[in-house]
Structure 1
Amino acid sequence: MNYGISSLSLIPVRKDPSEKSEMVTQVLFGEHFEIKEEMVGWSYVNLAYDGYEGWIDSKMITPLPLRSLKKLENRPFAVSGDIINVIPVNEEQTLMLVAGSTLPVWRPYLKEFSVGKDTYKTSGEVFYGKLKNPREVLIRQALKYFNAPYLWGGRSPFGIDCSGFTQIIYKMAGVKIPRDAGEQVKLGRALSFVDEAQPGDLAFFDDEEGNIVHVGIIWKRNKIIHASGKVRIDNVDQFGIFNIDLKRYTHKMRVMKKIINADGTD
């Protein structure tokens, strides 16, 4: 088996092996993947973080030897928390990390991480190990994305979709959830009433056929942070999301889920 890792800020993952094909998700810096198939200029990959699959431009892949893969998997997980973190590589070059990027082989005492033979230092915020206050981190990080543009398949502050937003925010809080809202809704415990929701709980919304089509993060009483046109804050109740600009309901409530328990576990 062949493996790769992203040493770029982000790599688009496409439905078909073409630059014109729909982007289905993105690989952020430090996330690795298995290369399942190769053709001229393109590689079909399975992402280790969430199992998502698609095609990426082979030129964007940094090879990951099996020995390095095992080293990655045996080290604690670290995630960049700054919306943008510009890291010096040398006198002429910098590396730009977006929030939610993985910092492989993290050495907290040195504030260093490594990809292959390259080692980088960061003075930015890093989430590492088991967090004592995951809900606080969820909300604080979610609010940093306010006004980030909506982008289908996006997972970065430069463009993000609704489930990419919830996944990345939960990643920074140390909780792994699937990529798509239709899979995220299968997690956690359903809440009977909106008043039961706590900051950081997820709310899911469906269409006329009952398909889950949207997800957002509960902020505080009757407020939701979600990506719809942009990352925004709207009112939410048992009927759905009431868009404060349009002054009408835009999404129909299906269910609210508690993914993180009161003690911070998931």
Structure 2
Amino acid sequence: MQKEKSSVWPLIDAYGICRQTILPLYRRPTFDSAMVTQLLFGECYQTIAMTSDQQWFKILHEDTGIQGWITTQALKEIPEADYYNYLNTDFQVVTSPIAAIEYQGTNLYLLPGSRLHFSELELFNWQDHIGFTGSVRSHAVKADREQLIEIAIKYVNAPYQAGGRSIFGLDEHQGFELIFNIAGYSLTSGKIPGRKIDPELVLPGDLFIFRELERKQVKYALYLGAEEVFWMDNRIKVSDLSEWEDFLRSNKDKQVELETRSILS
């Protein structure tokens, strides 16, 4: 039933999967609205509402908990059983900067974080059968610290883009969540990741988290070892830890908080 005085109709028990390289989600059902996030090939979602003219669908990205609008043309529905099977069983996650798959008779290019729902336990070489080129890893196998850093480094020089989740444009918070998700660790949008540790115990792969309490802003830096950090300053960069600290000192928020957190241990 349509909500009273609303052009939006609620939906339940409807599910979909991203079947394009990047699927933008908008804050409102219009192309001139802000982009809130992007889905990558193979990521699943729930449809929770649609406009009365059925031209836009509001969806929920299960992994991040972020909601946004997509067009009817971008909607690819799947059965409920497939949706939960994809979420609860192992899959291959793309790790190469650019990969390709034969899809519907043509090549579709895939970006890091894209998902292929084939397990290593398959009885055939799925990479040959589906015409895949690129590198992948099993999501069920958690990356070690060295592997996590290898995944992160591929995003160096990615420019800042609000809501972006690709090497061509990256949202700082969603980007860090994506990197850890590729490595097999689940980070939910808006939640503090990992456990707090003593800064003197920091190891490569741990996170520095800087909070400006008045403006409620958060900055991340991934410790790479040898006093180097991976962080966002209009683009993803690697610099000495001292440069990041100088950047933080330039902020005008009087109430700040810095902590170190470990995701991997």
Q: In the superposition, relative to structure 1, how do residues 59 and 255 fare at CA in structure 2: closer, same or farther (>3 Å)?
A: same
Q: In 1, distance between residues paired with 2:181 and 2:142? A: 15
Q: 1:164 matched to which residue of 2? A: 174
Q: In 2, distance between residues paired with 1:108 and 1:242? A: 49
Kindly indicate whether residue 40 of structure 2 is the aligned counterpart of residue 28 of structure 1.
yes
Q: 1:264 matched to which residue of 2? A: none
Q: In 2, distance between residues paired with 1:103 and 1:140? A: 20
> Could you say what secondary structure the match of 1:151 adopts?
coil
Q: In the superposition, relative to structure 1, how do residues 124 and 240 fare at CA in structure 2: closer, same or farther (>3 Å)?
A: closer
Q: In the superposition, relative to structure 1, how do residues 169 and 71 fare at CA in structure 2: closer, same or farther (>3 Å)?
A: same
**Aligned residue pairs: how many?**
245
Q: In 2, distance between residues paired with 1:249 and 1:59? A: 47
- Which of 224, 227, 234 aligns to 1:219? It is 224
Aligned pairs for 1:37-52 (under 5 A) are 37-39=49-51, 40=53, 41-52=55-66
Q: 2:16 matched to which residue of 1? A: 4
- Which of 116, 123, 134 aligns to 1:124? It is 134
Q: In 1, distance between residues paired with 2:147 and 2:264? A: 12
> Could you say what secondary structure the match of 1:254 adopts?
strand
**Shift of residue 16 of structure 1?**
1.1
Q: 1:53 matched to which residue of 2? A: 67
List gaps (5 residues or longer) in structure 1. Answer: 114-118, 262-266
Q: Residue 37 of structure 2 contacts residue 163 of structure 2 at CA under 8 Å; is this kept in 1?
A: yes
Q: Residue 212 of structure 2 contacts residue 257 of structure 2 at CA under 8 Å; is this kept in 1?
A: no
Kindly indicate whether residue 190 of structure 2 is the aligned counterpart of residue 191 of structure 1.
no
Q: In 2, distance between residues paired with 1:111 and 1:162? A: 36
Q: Which moved more, 1:10-19 or 1:50-59?
A: 50-59
Q: Residue 165 of structure 1 contacts residue 226 of structure 1 at CA under 8 Å; is this kept in 2?
A: no
Q: 1:259 matched to which residue of 2? A: 263
> Could you say what secondary structure the match of 2:115 adopts?
coil
The two structures, once aligned, show a CA RMSD in angstroms of 2.5
Q: 2:185 matched to which residue of 1? A: 175
**Shift of residue 50 of structure 1?**
1.9
Q: In 2, distance between residues paired with 1:107 and 1:196? A: 35
Kindly indicate whether residue 148 of structure 2 is the aligned counterpart of residue 134 of structure 1.
no
Q: In the superposition, relative to structure 1, how do residues 5 and 197 fare at CA in structure 2: closer, same or farther (>3 Å)?
A: same
Q: In 2, distance between residues paired with 1:101 and 1:151? A: 19
Q: In the superposition, relative to structure 1, how do residues 55 and 132 fare at CA in structure 2: closer, same or farther (>3 Å)?
A: closer
TM-score, with length taken from structure 2: 0.83
Larger Rg: 2
Q: 1:88 matched to which residue of 2? A: 102
Q: In the superposition, relative to structure 1, how do residues 153 and 4 fare at CA in structure 2: closer, same or farther (>3 Å)?
A: same
Q: In 1, distance between residues paired with 2:163 and 2:95? A: 20
Q: Which moved more, 1:133-142 or 1:144-153?
A: 133-142
Q: In 1, distance between residues paired with 2:112 and 2:77? A: 23
Q: Residue 131 of structure 1 contacts residue 174 of structure 1 at CA under 8 Å; is this kept in 2?
A: yes
Q: Which moved more, 1:199-208 or 1:16-25?
A: 199-208
- Which of 145, 155, 158 aligns to 2:165? It is 155
| Letter paired with 2:103 | V
**Shift of residue 73 of structure 1?**
3.5
Q: In 1, distance between residues paired with 2:183 and 2:250? A: 28
**Shift of residue 231 of structure 1?**
0.9
List gaps (5 residues or longer) in structure 2. Answer: 1-12
